[in-house]
């Protein structure tokens, strides 16, 4: 007998879980999400009903029984409730800022040397007056520089700093919209999602009208569905580098395959932090991004079965939750890191925790590899007649998963790495310091083959 009563043999507990129970759970999750945002329903900028439904559906899928289902739901709700004080402080700060007419303030000196303040609105436009400023030092020589040089100088400024140049003169009003390196951070708006969303929409619209090129797009957001469209805007405008980060205390941001597509002939670097990635979104990275060389996935929720890009050279999967077993077949890969890292919403991450297997199929060009995630099983499949699996590997970092059966997994990796120079073992449990027996130490000496093995407790 379990929480649902006696289960008939061969009957999945999911079939006995009534839809009314699932609806109540979804409603409870949505309520905690609303409390976390501390805002009215019509200004949430995200469909909380869909977010709550995705959370419940995901946990319903990965839970092993009804008790596990309730435990994972409790972890989710507990994490959201723990975030109330942090979000409330941000909300109160926004309220205090409401009387401030502008987020962009520029200080200048007048002729008498006194500080005067020039204001601009959140879109980066100048104040209501567009009078040409006087130039006490003489001619405005900066404005006479070639456009390419001015854009190069401005590339060292953030979008916020560049927008402030609009107060200099009418000539400068739209110069900042041509910046090829865009970095947009919601922290500039003290987590005010409404003003931030309006700001991003307006600057992207201005760039569209000006047909401005884009090289780098970096976006730090917080629970705004339109972020998928903003990322797609960057891809559509041939950005080479795209970096996206969702607020760490919020649920992994769902990259909507209906709104964002990563197909690009130009994309070389992609970094996603705290994102929810499924097969439909990830598949173009394998098949439709021939220039992609660098991929960083951190604190992400991955519903992906394969990473198979032919062009990828550097792959980092840090602190991610894998919902399925995954294979990696990347013939051009030089650096591979799969590791754990403590994150702010650790309770949320634990609610998605599953034991999965990562299989390496082609890593022949990898020179540096770290496989230290504690909730993973790592294995590899060597191709017939292709030579040693890790024939170019020089540095190997492994976690405590490799200590089983007198370091049998470690032995296998070393045997297939003829160029290996050093091995680093990260044993997170301090008890192992005292449990390494003479037999185990002997095994390590045999495995090292005269090389160096470092052990970090």
Tokens 């093995």 correspond to what residue? 453
The pLDDT, as a whole number, for residue 457 is 53
Considering 24-28, 248-252, 385-389, the range whose residues carry the highest mean pLDDT is 24-28
The pLDDT, as a whole number, for residue 153 is 73
With CA atoms as reference, report the closest residue to 64 among 76, 56, 72.
Answer: 72
For residue 157, is pLDDT > 60? yes
For residues 107 and 238, the model is more confident at 238
Considering 77-86, 225-234, 378-387, the range whose residues carry the highest mean pLDDT is 225-234
Strand partners, 326: 358
CA distance 146 to 267: 28
- Are 122 and 195 within 8 A, CB to CB? yes
CA distance 206 to 301: 33
For residue 8, is pLDDT > 60? no
In the chain, the N- to C-terminal Cα span, in Å, equals 43
The rounded mean pLDDT for the chain is: 79
The pLDDT, as a whole number, for residue 154 is 72
Tokens 């003169």 correspond to what residue? 169
The pLDDT, as a whole number, for residue 93 is 46
For residues 445 and 113, the model is more confident at 445
Question: What is the rounded average pLDDT of the residues 153-168?
Answer: 71
For residue 136, is pLDDT > 60? no
CA distance 258 to 277: 13
For residue 105, is pLDDT > 60? no
Question: What is the rounded average pLDDT of the residues 20-24?
Answer: 94
- Are 133 and 168 within 8 A, CB to CB? yes
Torsion of CA 82, 83, 85, 89, to 10 degrees: 170
Record the pTM: 0.80
CA distance 46 to 429: 41
Question: What is the rounded average pLDDT of the residues 299-315?
Answer: 96
For residue 158, is pLDDT > 50? yes
With CA atoms as reference, report the closest residue to 94 among 189, 223, 200.
Answer: 189
Residue 212 has a CB neighbour count (10 Å cut-off) of 18
The pLDDT, as a whole number, for residue 111 is 42
The pLDDT, as a whole number, for residue 4 is 52
Tokens 């960057």 correspond to what residue? 234
CATH architecture of 13-97: Orthogonal Bundle (1.10)
pLDDT tens digits for 396-433?
999 888 887 878 888 889 889 989 888 888 876 544 44
The pLDDT, as a whole number, for residue 255 is 96
The pLDDT, as a whole number, for residue 411 is 87
pLDDT tens digits for 178-231?
778 888 999 988 888 999 999 899 888 888 877 777 899 999 999 999 999 999
- Are 324 and 345 within 8 A, CB to CB? no
Tokens 């041939």 correspond to what residue? 238
For residues 41 and 311, the model is more confident at 311
The pLDDT, as a whole number, for residue 300 is 95
Alpha carbon distances (Å) from 329 to 271, 276, 306, 309, 310: 20, 22, 8, 7, 8
pLDDT tens digits for 281-293?
999 999 999 999 9
CA distance 246 to 369: 27
Question: What is the rounded average pLDDT of the residues 435-455?
Answer: 65
Question: Which of 152-156, 212-216, 234-238 is predicted least confidently?
Answer: 152-156
User: What is the biggest distance separating any 2 CA atoms in the chain, rounded to whole angstroms?
Assistant: 90
The pLDDT, as a whole number, for residue 374 is 77
Please report, for the chain, the start and end positions of each structural domain, with discontinuous segments joined by +: 13-97, 355-457
């Amino acid at each position: 007998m379990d929480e649902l009563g006696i289960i008939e043999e061969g009957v999945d507990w999911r079939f006995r879980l009534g839809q009314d129970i699932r609806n109540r759970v979804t409603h409870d999750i949505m309520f905690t999400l609303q409390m976390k945002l501390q805002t009215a329903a019509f200004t949430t900028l995200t469909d909380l009903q869909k977010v709550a439904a995705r959370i419940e559906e995901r946990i319903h899928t990965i839970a092993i029984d009804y008790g596990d289902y309730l435990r994972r739901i409790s972890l989710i709700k507990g994490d959201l409730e723990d975030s109330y004080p942090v979000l409330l402080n941000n909300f109160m700060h926004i309220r205090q800022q409401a009387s401030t007419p502008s987020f962009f303030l520029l200080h200048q000196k007048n002729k008498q040397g006194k500080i005067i303040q020039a204001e601009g609105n959140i879109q980066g436009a100048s104040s209501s007056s567009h009078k040409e400023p006087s130039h006490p030092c003489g001619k405005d020589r900066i404005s006479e520089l070639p456009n390419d040089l001015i854009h190069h100088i401005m590339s060292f400024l953030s979008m916020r700093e560049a927008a402030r140049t609009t107060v200099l003169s009418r000539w400068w009003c739209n110069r900042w919209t041509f910046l090829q390196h865009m970095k947009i951070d919601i922290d500039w708006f003290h987590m005010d999602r409404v003003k931030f969303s309006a700001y991003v929409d307006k600057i992207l619209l201005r760039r569209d009208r000006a047909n401005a090129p884009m090289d780098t797009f970096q976006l730090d957001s917080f629970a705004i569905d339109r972020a998928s469209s903003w990322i797609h805007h960057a891809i559509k405008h041939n950005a080479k580098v795209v970096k996206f980060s969702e607020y760490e205390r919020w649920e992994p941001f769902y990259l909507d395959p209906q709104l964002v597509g990563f197909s690009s002939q130009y994309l070389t670097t992609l970094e996603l932090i705290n994102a929810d990635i499924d097969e439909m979104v990830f598949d173009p990275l394998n098949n439709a991004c021939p220039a992609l060389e660098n991929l960083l996935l951190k604190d992400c929720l991955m519903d992906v079965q394969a990473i198979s890009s032919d062009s990828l050279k550097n792959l980092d999967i840090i602190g991610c939750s894998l919902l399925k077993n995954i294979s990696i077949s990347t013939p051009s890969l030089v650096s591979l890191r799969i590791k754990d890292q403590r994150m702010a919403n650790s309770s949320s991450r634990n609610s998605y925790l599953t034991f999965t297997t990562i299989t390496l199929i082609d890593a022949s060009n990898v020179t540096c590899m770290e496989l230290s995630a504690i909730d993973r099983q790592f294995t590899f499949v060597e191709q017939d007649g292709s030579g040693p699996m890790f024939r170019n590997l020089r540095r190997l970092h492994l976690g405590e998963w490799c200590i089983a059966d007198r370091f049998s997994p470690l032995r296998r990796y070393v045997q297939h790495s003829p160029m290996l120079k050093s091995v680093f073992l990260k044993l997170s449990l301090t008890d192992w310091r005292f449990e390494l027996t003479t037999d185990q130490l002997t095994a390590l000496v045999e495995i090292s083959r005269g090389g160096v093995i470092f052990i970090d407790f």
